[in-house]
Amino acid sequence: MNPAPLRVVLVDDHHLFRAGVRTELGDAVDVVGEAEDVAGAVVLVDGAVPDVVLLDVHLPGGGGRAVIEAVKQGHPDVRFLALSVSDAPEDVISVIRAGARGYVTKTISGPELVDAVRRVAAGDAVFSPRLAGFVLDAFATMPGADGPPASFDPELDQLSPREREVLRHIARGYTYKEIARDLSISTKTVESHVSAVLRKLQLSTRHQLTRWATERRLI
Amino acid sequence: MAGGLSRRLGIDVTVVRIGLVLLALVSGFGAAGYVAAWLFLPVEGETATIAARAAKDRRGLALAIGCVPLLIALGVVVSVLGLGFVTSLIWGLVLAAAGMILVYRNEDETERVRIHRALATLTEIGSPAHRSRRSFAARILLGVVLLAAGLALLAIGHTYRGALGLVLGAVLMAGAFVVLFGPWWLRLARDLVTERNARIRAEERADMAAEVHDSVLQTLALIQRNADQPQKVAQLARAQERELRSWLFDGVAPWSLGGAEPATLAAGVALIEREVEATHGVAVDSVTVGDCPLDDDLRALLAATREATVNAAKWSGAPTVSLYVEVEPTSVSVYVRDRGVGFDPETVDGDRRGITESVCGRMARHGGTAAVHSRPGKGTEVELRVPRHPVRA
């Protein structure tokens, strides 16, 4: 279908896991390289310039976030998808805020992972149920309860009811298509809602989001 | 009692009895004396008197002393009304009441049973068994006579003895109402208590049945399906035995198998995820938004959640079950979803009590709601919700 298969780099510190993902992805994408720590990943991405980097949240040498920050400047077109077993919400949120376009858990099936890679490569956001849950949690506290109200930007610092509804469906395990049918909107609209949430997640200066990151001394 | 006194004083029992009754009628001190004898004379074959035991009963003594203000109040009322002759009666009766408190709290079992029996005949008035035609007629007649007397006294009260006549009239009227309606009130109150007890028992039974269904019946079903694998069967049976024991004897909820009972909702959800994955070999993808401490309603919600998750793992055939829990300010909602075979909720077998009783019934008993959305081939989603109680400070 695609004239040139997507070029993907795997970054994970577990050899077995990388082998597993490679098998799952199969022929659908072209895995152009693997790295097992931050320094190796930065060099690899710099040289190979893939379409998508599958990035572990926890990595020796600074975590997935450090890779994104080192590469982002020189290669703004490289997209990142975080992939991990089970992480603390603050780690996941901070990788997203650094620039990753999605987060999926390692229990994801092969076809679903391929689909997620395609989506990210196309510039869409990919939210697993878990990430949707983290985001709902992060935006749950009422505005004003944290941080000075002066810095509160309603455009960025809170989710619209529709976005919240979409995230809830994702957290319940619905696919975009199922959400579209359930809410009587188009799949494209679901995608734009998710992208809007991702934007808010990356740009909001909400106290809680920044606090999560600073507690880990990553900002 | 009279027998004991007569032996001690060397007088005939009948004489003692007549004397006591006369004393009681004349001054009220007869009753007090009777109770005092009860207190201070040891029962045949025993050395310690009830009084000796009562002296150590601080609360009983306090209650008995509490009768003093009552005595003063009654004394004031009586002297205001100018009924001098009643005073001595009151003294005796109040002393007797104080004594009875001590006796009741400190006597031994046999005497207590005797008092209960005496009281039981009083409370039986108005119970259906005693509703004979004659007693009913007598009751109506007495009530009407009292009512008439009371009305008459009220009508002519101000000319006859002033205030006293009015008070007496009112007392007679009240008496008439008690005689007429008392039994009915008693029956009403008794029915209310009986009905409430029955409801509490039924609810306890339903909760218990749900617990047994979740644990024992589920395990039996698993054992049947694994009958050809002795090792697996033994493992299941052992786990179930441990669970049942800890529930019956230590009061540990069955779903908190092995570990300490979770303190918060999120911990409970994580436990369900681990447990169902371990027992049924199905991936459970749980997402929890927010958290709060567990109370009884939320424990029931967790139990229903677990049941719905186990059902999905067992019957849907799907490799993954999605579990989403969200704590909102006023309620907690749970969604259990699978992409398995699904079923038609209309035609579900009444025998499979899992959904109806264990999930829906349990939610209803705790003020919540449960909804099952499923179609054959389209997977199943169970939606549970309970209201949250405001946090008590």
Give the residue extent of every domain in chain B.
Answer: 1-123, 260-393
Topology annotation, domain B260-393? Heat Shock Protein 90 (3.30.565)
Contact check, Cβ <8 Å, A171/B283: no
- pLDDT above 90 covers a percentage of chain B that reads 5
Q: Are A131 and A96 in contact (CB under 8 A)?
A: yes
Lowest mean pLDDT among B72-81, B170-179, B207-216: B72-81
Domain that holds residue A209: 7-215
Is residue B266 less than 8 Å (CB to CB) from chain A? no
Residue A51 has pLDDT above 90, yes or no: yes
Residue B334 has pLDDT above 70, yes or no: yes
- Indicate whether A1 belongs to any domain: no
pLDDT in tens, A161-193: 899 999 999 999 898 889 999 999 999 999 999
Contact check, Cβ <8 Å, B287/A140: no
What pLDDT, on a 0 to 100 scale, did the predictor assign at position A143? 47
Query: Which of B282, B284, B286, B287 to mutate to probe the A interface, most A CBs <10 Å?
Result: B287
Residue B208 has pLDDT above 70, yes or no: yes
Overall average pLDDT of the A51-69 stretch = 87
pTM: predicted TM-score of the whole model, two decimal places: 0.54
The Cα–Cα gap between A24 and A31 comes to: 11
pLDDT in tens, A195-207: 999 988 888 776 5
For residue A141, the 8-state DSSP code is S
- Indicate whether A136 belongs to any domain: yes
At A84 the three-state DSSP class reads strand
- Indicate whether A32 belongs to any domain: yes
Nearest to A140 among B289, B320, B322 (CB): B289
- Cα A118 to chain centroid distance, Å, stands at 13
What pLDDT, on a 0 to 100 scale, did the predictor assign at position A112? 87
Tokens of B137: 């007629």
Angstrom CA distances, A210 to A87, A100, A204, A214, B325, stand at 18, 16, 9, 6, 25
Residue B367 has pLDDT above 80, yes or no: yes
What pLDDT, on a 0 to 100 scale, did the predictor assign at position B1? 57
The Cα–Cα gap between A191 and A196 comes to: 9
What pLDDT, on a 0 to 100 scale, did the predictor assign at position B348? 65
Place of tokens 């077995």: A16
Chain B residue numbers with beta carbons less than 8 Å from the beta carbon of A105 are 285
Q: How confident is the model at residue A101 (pLDDT cuts 50, 70, 90)?
A: very high
Q: Which of B285, B372, B289 is nearest to B331 (CA)?
A: B289
**Residues in chain A whose Cβ is within 8 Å of chain B:** 105, 107, 129-130, 132-133, 136-137, 140, 168, 171-174
The Cα–Cα gap between A116 and A124 comes to: 9
Chain A residue numbers with beta carbons less than 8 Å from the beta carbon of B373 are none
pLDDT in tens, B11-58: 666 666 676 666 655 555 656 666 666 666 665 555 566 666 666 667
Top-confidence range, A90-99, A175-184, B65-74, B185-194: A175-184
Nearest to A136 among B289, B335, B381 (CB): B289
What pLDDT, on a 0 to 100 scale, did the predictor assign at position B260? 58
Chain B residue numbers with beta carbons less than 8 Å from the beta carbon of A137 are 289-290
Average pLDDT, chain A: 82
Is residue B211 less than 8 Å (CB to CB) from chain A? no
Overall average pLDDT of the B220-238 stretch = 76
HEC per residue, B70-117: HHHHHHHHHHHHCCHHHHHHHHHHHHHHHHHHHHHHHCCHHHHHHHHH
Q: Is B161 left (phi over 0), alpha (psi -120 to 50) or beta?
A: left
Overall average pLDDT of the B161-188 stretch = 76
Is residue B288 less than 8 Å (CB to CB) from chain A? yes
Overall average pLDDT of the B271-279 stretch = 82
Contact check, Cβ <8 Å, B287/A132: yes
List of E strands, B87-213 = none
Number of domains within chain A:
1
Chain B residue numbers with beta carbons less than 8 Å from the beta carbon of A107 are 283, 285, 320
Average pLDDT, chain B: 74
Q: Are A191 and A183 in contact (CB under 8 A)?
A: no
Overall average pLDDT of the B160-188 stretch = 76
Is residue B375 less than 8 Å (CB to CB) from chain A? no
pLDDT in tens, A12-42: 888 877 888 888 888 888 999 999 889 889 9
Overall average pLDDT of the B71-96 stretch = 66
Residue B368 has pLDDT above 60, yes or no: yes
Chain B residue numbers with beta carbons less than 8 Å from the beta carbon of A172 are 322, 324, 335, 337, 381
